[in-house]
Structure 1
Amino acid sequence: MKKIKTAIIPTRATFAKVRAPHELHKEAICVFAATGFFLNTDTYFKDQMVLPPGSLCSIDEDGFFLESTPWFQWHNSPRAISFEAAVEEFSQLFETIVAEQIGEQKVILPLSGGLDSRTQAVAMHHLQREVQSYSYDFKGGYAETSIGKKIAKACDFNFNEYHVGAGYLWEVIEELAEINQCYSEFTHPRQMAIFNEYAGMGDVFSLGHWGDVLFDGSGNTKISEEEQLQYLLKKIIKKGGMELANTLWLAWELPGSFSHYLSDRVQRLLAAIPIKHTGAKIRAFKSLYWAPRWTATNLAVFEEKKPITLPYFDNRMCEFICTIPEEYLADRKLQIAYIKQRNAQLAKITWEENKPFNLYTFPKNRSPYNIPYRILNKVKRETRALFGNPYIQRNWELQFLGASNDEKLKEYLFNEHLESLVSQETIRSFYKKFTTQDAVYYSHPVSMLLTLSLKMKQLARES
C-alpha cells in the first residue's frame, strides 16, 4: 500500500483508479459543460478519480484508491491581532515563501495590472532577485502591458511585452490538449500564445494565482445556507453553461434533472465545511474545489517549459489566512498595505481593476470622480468600432470571431469525434445560436463543445 499526501491547494492533479465500470462519467461531464471544471474528485471516467486536496490518501499496490483522511481542514480562527501586526506577519511570511521557492535562480515573473503579481514584484525587488518579467495583452484590447512595463521599470526588472493576436489558438490547440488533457476549455490559457518564448527567459516561474481569492474577504458574516448555495451556483455556472448541460443531460437520458443534481452536490460539499462565517466558508469552498480543478489545470502549460512556484498556494499561506480577521482580508487591505510600505512607487501605478486610479486613489472609483474616464473610454471604444476595429475584451473573441477562425472552429466541431458523444443536432443548435443570436452568451457552450471534441479525438487515438 502507498500513502500520498496532497497539498492544501495542489498545483497538479494526482489520478487514481476506482473499482467501477470503465465508461464515460456523463454526469461529471455535464457539470464540466456548465462550469468549465470538474467538481471535487470527478474525471472523464467513472473508474478514475483525482485525489482530494489536503488529504492523506491510501492507494493499493494496483493503483486503486482505498481511502483518504484530511490532514488539513479550512477553518476560521481569527486571532486578536492588530492590522499593523498582521501586515508585518504577512510581509515576513510572504517574503520567506518567495525566497525559499525561488532560491538564487533567475525568476520568470508574469506581470498584470492587478495586485497579486505586483505583490510578488515588491517581494522580489526587496529580496534583490534577478527577474525576467513579461506581460501580454490582446491586440485591440486594453493595453495591460503598459502597467506591467511601469512595474518592471520601477523594480529595475528586465521586461518583455507581447500582444496576443487573433487565431493563435489553432496553431497550438493539439499541443494544449495534450498538456492539460482537456480538463479546461481552450479559450483561457493565453500563455500558449507565447509558449515557445519561455525557454530562454529564466530558470523558474513565480506565479500569482489565487491571491485574489485568499486576500479578498467578506464583511458579511452570516447569510442562509440557501443563499450561500445560490451565490456559489451563480459564481461557478458560466453563461450558457446550464443550457448546454441540460441539453446533454436530456440527450443522454440521465436520471432526474441536471439542475437538481448540481445543486445537491454543491450543497453537500458546502455543508461539509465546518465554518460559520460566510466569507471564510465561501473562500474554503473555492480553495477546495475551484482552485485545484480550475485554476491549477493550466499551470501545466508553464510547467511544460520551466519549474513553477506559487507563493499563494503554499500550505503556510493557507494556514495563515485562516487565522486573520476577515475585516483585514476584505478589499485586499493586507496586500495594499504591504505594497505601500515596501514600495510606494509601485502603489502609485494604475490598478487595472480600478483604472485610472491607483492604490492610493482607488476609493474614488465611483461617481462623480470616475465619470470623465468612463466617458472618454466609451468614446474611444465606439470610435474604434466605427472604423472596423472593435475593442477586444475576451479571449474567445480572438479565437472564434472572423472568417478564418470560423473555418477552424467548424472543423473541430463538426466531425466524427465530437459526434460520437454529442448529436450533430445539438452541435449545430449551439453553433447557430453563437453565430446568429448572442455570441457572448453562447461562447462558453461552443468552447466546451470544442474541448469535448479534442478529448474524444484523444480517446479515439488511444483506443
Structure 2
Amino acid sequence: MRKIKTPIIPIQPTFAKVKGDHELNKEAICIFAATGFFLDRDTYWKDVVALPPASINQLDADGFLVKCTPWFQWHYTPRTISFNEALQEFTTLFETIVEEQIGNKKTILPLSGGLDSRSQAVVLKKLGKEVSSYSYDFDGGYPETQLAQKIATACDFDFKPFQIEKGYVWNVIEELAKINQCNSDFTHPRQMAIIDKFEAMGDVFSLGHWGDVLFDSGTDKTVSENQLTEIILKKLIKKGGMELGNALWHQWKLEGTFEHYLHKRINTLLDTIKIKNVSAKVRAFKSLYWAPRWTSVNLSVFIEKRPVTLPYYDDRMCEFICTIPEEFLADRKLQIAYIKAQSPKLAKITWQDHRPFNLYNYGKNRIPYNLPYRIIKKAQRESNALVGKKYIQRNWELQFLGKENATQLESYLFSNPLKEWVSEEVIQAFYNAFKEKDAVTYSHPVSMLLTLALWKKNNG
C-alpha cells in the first residue's frame, strides 16, 4: 500500500487508476472543450483520475486508488485584527516562505507589469538573492518588457527581454503536447517560445502564480449564494466554449444535455465548500478546481527545465488567507501595501492593469483622468493600422492568423486522428466560424480542437 499526500494547491497533478472500463470520459472531455481544463478529478479516461488537492490517498500495489481522505478544508474564519497587523503577518510569512524555497540558489524571475511578479521582485531584492529576470511581449503587442525592464533596473537584477514571434507554436507543438499531456491548450503558455533559454538563466524559478486570486475578492460582494453557480460558469466557460461542448455532446449522443450536466457538476462541487461568504467561497472553488487543473498544468513548461517555487501555493499561505477579513484582501490591498512599504521605488512604476498610473495613483484610472492616455493610445493603434501594422492583444492571434499559420492549423484540424472521434462537419463548422464569422469568439473552440487532435495523435 502506498500513501500520497497532496498539497492544498498541487504544483503538478498526480494520477491514479480506479476500477472501471478503460474508455474515454466523453462527458469530461466536453467540459474540457468548454473551459480549457479538466474539472475536479476528471481526465480523458474513465478509469484514471487526478488525486484531489489537500487529500491523503492510499493506492494499492497496482496503482489503484483505495481510499481518499481530505486533510484540509477551505474555510473563512476571519480574525479580529487590524490591517497593519495583517500586513505584518503577511510580510513575515511571505519572506519566510521565499527564503526557505530559494536558499542560496540563483533565481529565475519572470517579470510583468503586474503585482504578483513585482511582489516577488521586492522580496528577492530584500533578501539579497541573485536574480536573473526576463520578460516577453508580442510581436506587435503591448511592450510589456518595458515595464519589466524598469522593475529589474530598480532592483539591480540581470534582465533579458524576449519577443514572442508569430507562429512559434508550430515549431514546439509536438514537444509541448508531451510536456503538458494535452491537459491544456497550446496557445497560452508563451514561455514555451523561449524554453531553451531557461537552463542558462539560473537554478530555480520563483513564480508569483495565484497571488491575484488569493489576494483579491472572489466576486462582487452584492452577489448572493444562489447566484454562485452562474457566476462560476461565467468565469469558467470560454467564448465559444459552450457551443463546442454542446456540439461534442450531441455528436457523441450523450445522455441529457451538456448544460444540465455542467450545471449539476458545478452545483455539486459548490455544495462541498462549507463557506457562507460568497467571495471566500469563489476563491476556494477556484483554488480547488482551477489552480490545480489549469494554472499548474502550464507550470509544466517551467518544470521541464528547472525546479519551480511558488510562495502563493504554499500551504501556510493558503491557511493564512482563510483567516484574513475579506475587506483586507479585496482590491489587492495587502499586496499593494507590502510593495509600497518595502519598495516605494517599485510602487512608483506603472501598474500594467491601470496604465499609465502606478500603485500610488491607480485610483485615477477612470474618466476624466485616464482620458488623455486612452486618446493617445487609440490614435497610435489607428496610425499603425493605416500602415498595416496590426495590434496584437491575444496569444492565438500570433498562432492562427495568416496564411502560414492557417496551413499548419489545418494540417492538424483535418488530420485523420481527430476525425476518428470528432466529425469533419463539426470541425469545419467551427473553423469556418473562426475564419468568417468571429475570430475572437471561435478562437477558443479552434484551439481546443487542435489540442484534441494532438492528444488523439499521441494516444491512438
Confirm or deny a common fold (TM above 0.5). yes
AA paired with 2:174?
Answer: E
Contact kept, 8 Å, 1:219 with 1:326, in 2: the verdict is: no
User: Counterparts of 1:258-407 in structure 2 under 5 Å?
Assistant: 258-407=258-407
2:65 equivalent in structure 1: 65
Matched, 1:235 2:226: no
Q: Which residue of 1 aligns with 2:17?
A: 17
Distance 1:433 1:172 in 2: 26
SS for the counterpart of 2:297 is: coil
The 4+ residue runs of structure 1 with deviation greater than 6 A are none
CA distance in structure 2 between the partners assigned to 1:240 and 1:217 by the alignment: 26
Rounded to whole Å, the distance in 2 between the matches of 1:222 and 1:285 is 18
Distance 1:250 1:226 in 2: 29
Q: Give a deviation string over 1:173-201, Cα, whole Å, max 9, x none.
A: 00000000000011100000101000100
| 1:58 Cα offset (Å) | 1.2
- Residue in 1 aligned with 2:438? 438
Give the corresponding residue for 2:252. 252
**How far 1:261 sits from its partner (Å)?**
0.3
1:187 correspondence with 2:171: no
TM-score (norm: length of structure 1): 0.98
Asked if the contact 2:43–2:50 (Cα under 8 Å) also holds between the matched residues in 1, the reply is yes
Distance 1:368 1:317, change over 3 A: same
Asked whether the equivalents of residues 219 and 327 of structure 1 are also in contact (C-alpha less than 8 Å), the reply is no
Match of residue 82 from structure 1: 82
| Separation (CA, whole Å) in 2 of partners of 1:219 and 1:202 | 38
* Residue 158 of structure 1: how far off its partner (Å): 0.3
The answer (yes or no) to whether the contact 2:218–2:282 under 8 Å persists in 1 is no
Label 1:221 to 1:364 Cα distance change in 2 as closer, same or farther (>3 A): closer
Shift of 1:67: 1.9
RMSD over aligned Cα, in angstroms? 0.9
> 3-state DSSP class of the match of 1:137?
strand
Aligned counterpart, 1:113: 113
Aligned to 2:423: 423
How far apart, in 2, do the equivalents of 1:66 and 1:199 lie?
Answer: 39
Structure 1: any 5+ residue segments left out of the alignment?
none
Match of 1:3? 3
SS of 2:350's equivalent in the other structure is coil
Q: Does 1:205 align with 2:205?
A: yes
Instruction: Indicate the residue corresponding to 2:409 in structure 1.
Output: 409
Amino acid at match of 1:76: Y
Instruction: Supply the distance in 1 between the matched residues of 2:9 and 2:180 (Cα, whole angstroms).
Output: 17
Could you tell me how far 1:139 is from its partner in structure 2? Answer: 0.9
Match of 2:98 in 1: 98
Equivalents in 2 of 1:371, 1:221: separation in Å? 28
Matched residue, 2:169: 169
State the 1:60 CA deviation. 1.2
**Residue deviations 1:48-79 (CA, integer Å, cap 9, x gap):** 00000000111111110112111000000111
**C-alpha distance in 2 between matches for 1:213 and 1:152:** 24
Once the two structures are TM-superposed, the CA of residue 220 in structure 1 deviates from its matched residue by 4.8
The answer on whether the counterparts of 2:37 and 2:293 sit within 8 Å (CA) in structure 1 is yes
Quick one: structure 1 residues 178 and 436, their matched pair in 2 at CA, closer, same or farther if it must change by over 3 Å? same
What is the deviation of 1:323?
Answer: 0.5
Q: How many residues align?
A: 460
Instruction: Give the 3-state SS of the residue equivalent to 1:159 in structure 2.
Output: strand
**CA deviation after TM superposition for structure 1 residue 218, in Å:** 5.4
TM-score normalised per structure 2? 0.99
Query: Which whole-Å deviations, capped at 9, do the CAs of 1:19-46 have from their partners, x for residues lacking one?
Result: 1110110000000000000000000000
Contact 1:222 1:277 in 2 (8 A): no
Distance across 1 between alignment mates of 2:74 and 2:425: 45
Asked if structure 2 preserves the Cα contact closer than 8 Å seen for 1:348 and 1:360, the reply is: yes
Q: Determine if contact 1:218/1:327 at 8 Å carries over to the other structure.
A: no
Q: Distance in 1 between matches of 2:237 and 2:451?
A: 17
What is the DSSP-based 3-state SS (H/G/I as helix, E as strand, rest coil) of the residue aligned with 1:345?
A: helix
SS of the residue aligned with 2:161?
A: strand
Give CA deviations for 1:324-355 in whole Å, capped at 9, x if unaligned.
01000000000000000000000000000000
